[in-house]
Structure formats: structure tokens, C-alpha cells
């Protein structure tokens, strides 16, 4: 006889794609037992007992929450049952359905014990939220058919640390900047394309290539293109235009820039994120209208997410 426990882990409401590195290799403390299945030799569901031996101490994600599956031997034989958060008993079939749903979700991960938890960041960046931004741009905007939520989510998988702490403010800050830079996802490339932006002498520039702003964060400069290409996996030196052609790479460049230069100063206030992105042009009283537009967007998103924007909004 085997007891199968599905226990909620101490993973707070910040759980999201980043739950994988957050939980990996760390001790798990059990809290409320949500699922208690007991299988015995006299029952038709004996296979469940064999399965639990295999999946002991495995992680699953059910309905956006992280759980630990483990077995326990001993005790009296009982009939299969299920108890939810409210202490309500659910039918044996429903209990088994939850077990196999957990196994199915676990099988979708690449490494045993890893968790893919679509929570928090993706709960905030809903299709309605994302499309609502694009709907503010004119129908003629090239970006309306280029920037998609699916591309953002795919790119997000490569940056699990994004939104790991202070999730709502980080998502609000990121989208405040990218919607400012692209005018509500209207523009893919910078308007002024005459300047090649070969501005970093320690990096080369390819003949005939221009490193002007492209993508959600308007990645600019030969150095940024080369470093982003190395990190993401495209030729930033010879093919900077990839950022304007591949929507996933485009969002990856924005997240790469954010995690490389901006993420670490988020706790210093939104104003510091402005300084990291466009400080020389906007901070210290310069281009105040641009600063105010970023702040307006940030505070609006914070309000939507139900979080205080915090201090030091300007730079």
C-alpha cells in the first residue's frame, strides 16, 4: 500500500517560469497535503502504486501552482480519495485524473524534476494586456503584425530570472520602456536610419551595416548588437537586421539588454531604469517629456497590476 501526497511547496506568488531555477536543488518543506491516494493490491488501481515509486519527490505544476509528489509506505489500507484545499472529498476518478495530469505536465519538461510553471509573468502579460497595447497603435503600423505575445513568451523562456522578484513592478517597468520605445509596438526600426551607430571602437563594424535601433527595446550600437548576438545566437555584426525580421530574437534582444543592464537597478526605483536605457539623452532635466511618458506608462501598468510604483520615478 502506498500513499501519494501532492503537497504545495513554499513557493510564493512570485512563482513563474523562473520557478525552475528557484526550486532546483533546494530543500522542500511540505505544507497542506492536497492529494492523498492510497492504492492496495485488492484494488484495480494498483498501477498507481507502481507509478508513485517512479515519480517520488518529483515536481508538477497544476493550475499555476508548484507541488511536490512523494510516496509514503505504511499505515492502514484505505480507499482512494482526494481532498482539496477546502477539505472536500473528490471522487476516486477525479483523484486519478489529477495524478495523471500531473504526470503529463511533468513529462513536458526536459529535465527530470524541472517545472514549467506558467504563472505570474504570463498571468500579468495576458493576451488582453498585450493586444490592448497594440490596439492603441494605428492600423498602418508595421509592428502590429510583428510583435506578438507568443514571441514574448517564447523569448521569456530563455530568461527565467526576469520577474523572479518584485514581479509586477518589473513587468510594468519593462513594458513601460518597450511601449515607449516602439510607440505601443508600432515601430520595429528607428525612424532615422542615416546614422550607422558604429559607436563602440572596441568592437568592429561590418561594411554597409547599420546598427540603429531595432526591436522592442530599440537595440542600438555595434557593441550591443555584437554582444546580444553572442548571447542569443545570431550574427549581430554582419546581420543586425535579424532583430527586425525574427520576432522571437527581437524580444530576446530586449530581454537580454534588460537582464544585462537594467534588472539589477530595479530596486533603486524606476528612474534608474531610465538612466540605464537612455540616461545621457533624458536624465538630468533633458528631454523631460520623454521621461514623463515613460513614467506615465509605468505608473499606469502598476495601477493595472495592483502594485505601488515605488519611489524615485524620475532620473
Contact at 8 Å (CB) between 306 and 168?
yes
Beta bridge partners of 2: 39, 73
- H/E/C letters for each residue in 65-110? EEEEEEEEECCCCCCCCEECCCCCEECHHHHHHHHHHHHHHHHCCC
If we measure between CA atoms, which residue out of 3, 4, 2 comes closest to residue 99?
Answer: 4
Q: What torsion do the CA atoms of 115, 25, 254, 152 make, to the nearest 10 degrees?
A: 0
Distance CA 263, CA 261 (A): 6
Distance CA 35, CA 16 (A): 22
Catalytic amino acids?
181
Contact at 8 Å (CB) between 155 and 252?
yes
List Cβ neighbours of 141 (8 Å cut-off, separation of 6 or more): 183, 185, 186, 187
Beta bridge partners of 39: 2
Amino acid at each position: 500500500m502506498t500513499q501519494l501526497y501532492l503537497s504545495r511547496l513554499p513557493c510564493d506568488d512570485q512563482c513563474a517560469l523562473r520557478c525552475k531555477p528557484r526550486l532546483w536543488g533546494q530543500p522542500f518543506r511540505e505544507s497542506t497535503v492536497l492529494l492523498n491516494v492510497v492504492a492496495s493490491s485488492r484494488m484495480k488501481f494498483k498501477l498507481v502504486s507502481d507509478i508513485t515509486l517512479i515519480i517520488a519527490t518529483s515536481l508538477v505544476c497544476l493550475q499555476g501552482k508548484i507541488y511536490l509528489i512523494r510516496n509514503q509506505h505504511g499505515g492502514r489500507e484505505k480507499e482512494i480519495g482526494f481532498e482539496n484545499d477546502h477539505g472536500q472529498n473528490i471522487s476516486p476518478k477525479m483523484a486519478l485524473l489529477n495524478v495523471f495530469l500531473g504526470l503529463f505536465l511533468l513529462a513536458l519538461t526536459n529535465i527530470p524534476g524541472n517545472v514549467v510553471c506558467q504563472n505570474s509573468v504570463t498571468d500579468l502579460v495576458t493576451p488582453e494586456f498585450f493586444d490592448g497595447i497594440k490596439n492603441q497603435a494605428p492600423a498602418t503600423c508595421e509592428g502590429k503584425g510583428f510583435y506578438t505575445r507568443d514571441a514574448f513568451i517564447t523569448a521569456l523562456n530563455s530568461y527565467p530570472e526576469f520577474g523572479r522578484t518584485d514581479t509586477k513592478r518589473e513587468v510594468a517597468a519593462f513594458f513601460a520602456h518597450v511601449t515607449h520605445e516602439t510607440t505601443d509596438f508600432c515601430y520595429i526600426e528607428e525612424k532615422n536610419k542615416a546614422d550607422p551607430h558604429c559607436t563602440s571602437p572596441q568592437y568592429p563594424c561590418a561594411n554597409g551595416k547599420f546598427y540603429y535601433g531595432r526591436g522592442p527595446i530599440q537595440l542600438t550600437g555595434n557593441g550591443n548588437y555584437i554582444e546580444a548576438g553572442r548571447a542569443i545566437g545570431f550574427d549581430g555584426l554582419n546581420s543586425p537586421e535579424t532583430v527586425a525580421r525574427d520576432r522571437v530574437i527581437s524580444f530576446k534582444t530586449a530581454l537580454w539588454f534588460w537582464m544585462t543592464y537594467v534588472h539589477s537597478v530595479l530596486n533603486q526605483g524606476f528612474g534608474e531604469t531610465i538612466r540605464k536605457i537612455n540616461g545621457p539623452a533624458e536624465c538630468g532635466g533633458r528631454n523631460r517629456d520623454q521621461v514623463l511618458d515613460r513614467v506615465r506608462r509605468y505608473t499606469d501598468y502598476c495601477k493595472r497590476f495592483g502594485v505601488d510604483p515605488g519611489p524615485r520615478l524620475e532620473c
